[in-house]
Amino acid sequence: MFGTIGFPELIIIFLVALLIFGPRKLPELGKSLGRGLAEFRRASTDLKRTWEEEIRLEEEKEKDQVPPVAESPEALTKK
């Protein structure tokens, strides 16, 4: 239903923003939007890195655990 945003759509969005915010506020709005996107990208990268580290630690923890030693068949029959 919704595809990628093309050049004509960007022009329409820009014109609507220009009408709403005016030419003086538009550069400030662009800076704020850019900073917000950069912060979001940084936070998502950090979350991904933390998630992968936790998975790696969990896998190492599982590898380090020694599985229980099964009793020999003779020991089972003596009980």
Q: Give me the pLDDT at residue 30, please.
A: 86
pLDDT tops 60 at residue 59: yes
- Using CA atoms, how far residue 62 sits from 5, 36, 41, 53, 67, in Å, is 46, 39, 32, 14, 10
Q: List, for residues 11-22, the tens digit of each pLDDT value.
A: 998 899 889 888
Report domain extents, the chain.
21-60
Q: Give the model confidence (pLDDT) of 18-44 as tens digits.
A: 898 888 888 898 899 899 999 999 999
Flag whether the pTM goes above 0.85.
Answer: no
